[in-house]
Amino acid sequence: MRQARRVPDKHSQVDQVTKQVAVIGGGISGVCTAFFLADAGHDVVLIERHQNVAQESSFASSGLVAPAYAGPSAVPGMPRRILSALFQSESPVLLKPGLDRALWRWARRWVAECDLDRYRINRTRLQRLGLYSQGLLHRMREYYQLDYEQAQGVLQLFRTEKDLKLAEPGIALLAENGIPHRQVDTDGARAIEPALASDTALAGALYLPQDEAGNCPLFARRIKHIAADIGVQFHFGRRVERIEQDSRGVALLIDGQRFPVDAVVVAAGADSERLLQPLGVRLPLYPVRQYAAAALIRNFDNAPKAALADEAYKVEIARLGSRIRLSGVAQLTPDSASLKERAMRTLIKAGSDWFPDAAGYAQANFWSGVRLVLPDGVPVLGPTPVRDVYINMAQAESGWTMAVGAGKLVSDMVSGQAPDIDADGLTMARYG
Ligand SMILES: Cc1cc2nc3c(=O)[nH]c(=O)nc-3n(C[C@H](O)[C@H](O)[C@H](O)COP(=O)(O)OP(=O)(O)OC[C@H]3O[C@@H](n4cnc5c(N)ncnc54)[C@H](O)[C@@H]3O)c2cc1C
C-alpha cells in the first residue's frame, strides 16, 4: 500500500527491478534503510527482536545530529590523554588493564588511526556522510512535518588549555572544509548558553551553529509509521538466528524456519558481527559500552538551551523536551558494578558542573548501550563480499547523525544505483 507522498528524490522515477529485501534490526539505522528501500519501490520486511523500534543503542542516544562535531575517537594526542585519565575517579574511558588479546589487537590499530593524516581522512569521511545525512533529515522533516524535539547549535566546552590543544586539528579541518564554527571565550560561551555555571573553569569553547540535537527514538518511531504507510512490513519480537546463502539469493533463519529473500541488510547494531562472522565477513570491530542518563528539568531558566559537549570528560549534554540527556564514557572492558558506578558519577559531574540547578541528576534514569566500533570510527555501508548481503553498521558515536544518509546510501546500493555522495572510504572496500 504505497502512498503518493514520498520525499522528492532524483532517483524516485528511475525504473529498476523490485526486490524483496529484509532489513535486520529496528534501530535508527534499520528503520531509515527500510524507509528508503520502500521509497525506492522494493518490498521490504524489517525484523526486530524487541517489540518496537529504537530499543537498544538508538534509545540511548544523547541526541546530537552534529556533522561538524562528529569525529573519530582516534585523535592525535588521545592515547596519552586517555592514559592520564584512566585512574581518575571520573573518566571518559573505563578500561581495566588485563590480557584481553582482542582488545589489545584492536587498540594497536586504533593508536595507528591517531596519526594526524589518518585522523584528517577519517573525520572528513564522517563529515561528508554527516552533512549529506543532515540535509536529507531536513528534507524529511519539512516534507513530513516532523517534530522530534529539535534544538539548534552545539557548544563544545574546553575546561583547560590542554583540551583546547587536543581540538586544534579538528578546528583546522572545519576551517579547511568550510564548515561554520566560531571559537568563543567564556563570555561568548555564556552569551550562547546563559545558564552555564560561572564557577566551573572554562578555557574556551567552540560553537557549531549548524549542528543540532533531536530525540532519536522519537524520530525512529515517526519514520516507522511513515515506512509502514509506504509498505514496509515490521515483524517485532522475532530474532534472526542466522543468514544463509540460497540459490535464489539469501535466506534468514527465524524460529527454525527459512525465509528466502533477494537481499538482506544487516543493521543489527552490536549483534551484526555475530550474524556476519559465519558468512566469513570479518571486520576489526570491538564492542564499546556507552552510558546515558535522562534527568527531568526542574528549573527551566537554569537549563541548557540546546546541546553541549564537555571535552574533558567526553560527556554530551542535550536539552530534549523537558529532560536533560547526558551521555558518554566509553567502557572497553567487561561490565562490573564499580565501572557502572564510575560512569554514572562522570555523567552526573558533567551535568552538575555546568548546569547545577537545572535538574535532579541523582534521580536521573540511567541506562547504557553497546556499539561496535572500528578503529577508524567510520561506519561500513553497502555490499559485503557475500552476494546479496549488505551492511549498515559500526556508526560508533555518531549513528544518529549519520542514520538518514547511511540509510539512503545503502538503499541506493541495493537498488544498483549510484549513491548521491562519493562512497569512497565508507564501504568494506577500505579493508581490501
Ligand atoms: C549512550 C549513547 C549515546 C549516543 N549519543 C549519540 C549522539 O548524540 N549522536 C549520534 O549521532 N549518535 C549517538 N550515539 C550513537 C548512536 O546512538 C548509534 O550509533 C545508533 O543508535 C546505532 O543505531 P543502529 O540502528 O545501528 O543500532 P541499534 O540502535 O543498536 O539497533 C540495532 C537493532 O537490531 C536489533 N537486532 C539485533 N540483532 C538482531 C537479530 N538477530 N534479529 C532481530 N533484531 C536484531 C536490536 O534489537 C536493535 O534494536 C550514541 C550511542 C550511545 C550508546
3-state percent helix, strand, coil for the chain, nearest multiple of 5: 35, 25, 35
For residue 367, give the ligand 1 atom closest to its CA.
1
Residue to mutate, 51, 58, 243, 368, ligand 1, most ligand atoms under 8 Å from C-beta: 58
- 149 in contact with ligand 1, CB cutoff 6 A: no
Write down the pTM of the prediction. 0.94
> 393: CA distance to ligand 1 center in Å?
9
**Which is more confidently placed, 101 or 284?**
284
**H or E segment at 21?**
strand 20-24
**Which is more confidently placed, 98 or 4?**
98
Q: Return the pLDDT at 186.
A: 95
Q: Return the pLDDT at 351.
A: 96
Alpha-carbon gap, residue 316 to 327, rounded angstroms: 5
> 373: CA distance to ligand 1 center in Å?
12
- 407 in contact with ligand 1, CB cutoff 6 A: no
Q: Reply yes or no on whether the pLDDT at 3 is more than 60.
A: no
Q: Which three cell numbers stand for residue 139?
A: 528534507
Average pLDDT, the chain: 92
- 49 in contact with ligand 1, CB cutoff 6 A: yes
> 29: CA distance to ligand 1 center in Å?
7
The protein residue whose alpha carbon is closest to atom 5 in ligand 1 is 61
Q: For residue range 182-192, list pLDDT tens digits in order.
A: 999 999 999 99
Residue to mutate, 49, 57, 59, ligand 1, most ligand atoms under 8 Å from C-beta: 57
For residue 64, give the ligand 1 atom closest to its CA.
8
DSSP string, 267-310: --GGGHHHHHGGGT-----EEEEEEEEEEEBS-GGGS-SSEEEE
Domains of the chain by start residue, with CATH: 20-57+218-284+377-431 (3.50.50.60), 70-212+285-373 (3.30.9.10)
Q: Which three cell numbers stand for residue 23?
A: 532489513
Q: Report the length, in residues, of the chain.
A: 432
> 285: CA distance to ligand 1 center in Å?
15
pLDDT band for position 5 (cuts 50, 70, 90)? very low
- 401 in contact with ligand 1, CB cutoff 6 A: yes
Alpha-carbon gap, residue 267 to 404, rounded angstroms: 13
Q: Return the pLDDT at 396.
A: 79
> 54: CA distance to ligand 1 center in Å?
7
- 343 in contact with ligand 1, CB cutoff 6 A: no
- 316 in contact with ligand 1, CB cutoff 6 A: yes
Q: Return the pLDDT at 194.
A: 96
Q: For residue range 263-292, list pLDDT tens digits in order.
A: 999 999 999 999 999 999 999 999 999 999
The protein residue whose alpha carbon is closest to atom 20 in ligand 1 is 399
C-beta neighbour count of 101 within 10 angstroms: 8
Q: Return the pLDDT at 305.
A: 94
